[in-house]
Amino acid sequence: MATKGEQFAGLSVAMVTPLKDGAVDYDRMREHIEFQIEAGTTCLCPVGTTGESPTLSHDEHERVISFVCETAAGRIKVMPGTGSNSTAEALRLTKSAEKAGADAALQVAPYYNKPTQQGFYEHFKCLAEQTGLPQCVYNIPGRTGKNIEPETIARLAELENIDLVKEATGSLDQASAIINQTNLTVLSGDDSLTLPLMSVGARGVISVVGNIVPQDMIGLVQAVESQNMEQAQEWHHKLFPLCRDMLGLSTNPIPVKAAMKMLGRDSGELRLPMTPLTAAEETSLRDTLVGYGLL
């Protein structure tokens, strides 16, 4: 059955932000964009958690969004992270992304200040009503400190521009409740839970490992969509050790940037307070990439 944000079903990739000598490396970013377009990825999600948005300046944040939209040039959808724990700031970033040509906005739940459920509702309602972009509600209580309850998301689903949910609670019950009560397009926010979430009605994933193996993630999503569960399980079990052993090494995006460096696709540079993998962790990561067949 078609869902509200149907055009975003499939693989979205939570893009890293390449850095070189402390600045955004736009040449590398262009390469990343072309790599994803060639792979057949549905949508790019720059300046989210994976894109190190907490340590980008506001000017850099907006410039990255503009650059991705300009480079994509309609060949791939763009859903940048424009969320904040300040509604006014989220609104400013979202309006800027809309002006730059984004196709949707990824709105993380307000973090640290821990709003009430009514506060969540009013925050997302403001963004939906004061901009024209489809909104993806990003629920990740492990980082934000508070869950957006399914009942609140059901209320939000009644608003015209609330089209999607990035579901990163780790709870199949929560995902099932949202899918049961709404026609929102639910996307997995956890690579290793893509198959379980799609089995109850999610329509794809906003992926970190998609930075390095987009075609494999597309294979998994398409197998589920075509109801070939045997093939979907094969993809899941191929991808699972990579998701577990790479992403489990350290806080995202530290391991995926290290992996991209090993694969010759990024400098691997991070901004404090993100710090590089230890030598032992790098050895473990290399073994994981060799085991997967990437090195």
The domain spanning residue 154 has which CATH number?
3.20.20.70
Domain assignment present for residue 191? The answer is yes
Structural domain contains residue 281: no
pLDDT tens-digit readout, 241-260: 999 999 999 999 999 999 99
Residue 72 lies in a domain: yes
103 occurs within a structural domain: yes
Instruction: Summarize the confidence of residues 29-36 as an average pLDDT.
Output: 98
pLDDT at 77: 98
105 DSSP β-pair partners: 135
Active site residues: 138, 166
**What's the pTM value of the predicted model, to 2 decimals?**
0.97
Number of domains in the chain: 1
| Domain range for 20 | 6-226
Residue 265 in any domain: the answer is no
The CA distance from 84 to 143, in Å, is 13
61-80 pLDDT, tens digit each: 999 999 999 999 999 999 99
Q: Is the pLDDT of residue 1 over 80?
A: no
* CA dist., res. 180 & res. 178, Å (int): 5
Q: Which residues contact 271 (CB under 8 A, 6 or more apart)?
A: 19, 22, 52, 55
Residue 119 domain-assigned?
yes
- In this predicted model, what pLDDT tens digit does every residue of 199-221 receive, in sequence order? 999 999 999 999 999 999 999 99
Q: How far apart are CA 294 and CA 96, in angstroms?
A: 38
- Tell whether 95 is covered by a domain: yes
| Burial category of 113 from C-beta neighbours within 10 Å (exposed 0-12, middle 13-18, buried 19 and up) | exposed
pLDDT of residue 246: 96
122-162 pLDDT tens trace? 999 999 999 999 999 999 999 999 999 999 999 999 999 99
pLDDT of residue 134: 98
Average confidence score pLDDT of the chain: 97
